[in-house]
Amino acid sequence: MDFAKLFEFDDIGQVLITTDTHDENDHPIIALRCEYNGVSAITSWGFGDTEVGLNLRDKHFASIDREQAYKLASDVIKLLRGHDDE
């Protein structure tokens, strides 16, 4: 099974989507990494620490395509841009 997907976009650069377990609680997660103005952004979505949680994480990870990766990363970048105004 894949554990990483890398997408490249002309306007926002590289977007890396991975599966992992959270260090503190060992919950399965999907993590998104991207960059904006030299700032690396990482966000993640956690799932229950059960067999069902692992399967749900893997199902959602498998469904992430180029279009969805772009939307997710764009939303993260919009949050970072909001801090530029301060």
Query: What pLDDT digit, counting tens, does each position of 14-53 carry?
Result: 999 999 877 577 789 999 999 988 889 999 999 988 999 9
Spatial separation of the C-alpha atoms in residues 86 and 25, rounded to whole Å: 34
Q: Residue 84 — very low, low, confident or very high, per pLDDT cuts 50/70/90?
A: low
Q: Taking the CB of residue 42, how many other CB atoms lie within 10 A of it?
A: 11
* pLDDT value at residue 66: 97
Q: Residue 48: which residues within 8 A CB-CB, separation 6 or more?
A: 27, 28, 56
Which tokens sit at 7?
Answer: 């997408």
Query: What pLDDT digit, counting tens, does each position of 42-82 carry?
Result: 999 999 889 999 999 999 999 999 999 999 999 999 988 88
Quick one: which of 19, 16, 53, 12 has its CA closest to 33? 16
Tell how many helices (H) and how many strands (E) occur in the chain: 2, 4
Spatial separation of the C-alpha atoms in residues 38 and 26, rounded to whole Å: 29
pLDDT reading at 7 higher than 60: yes
pLDDT reading at 86 higher than 50: no
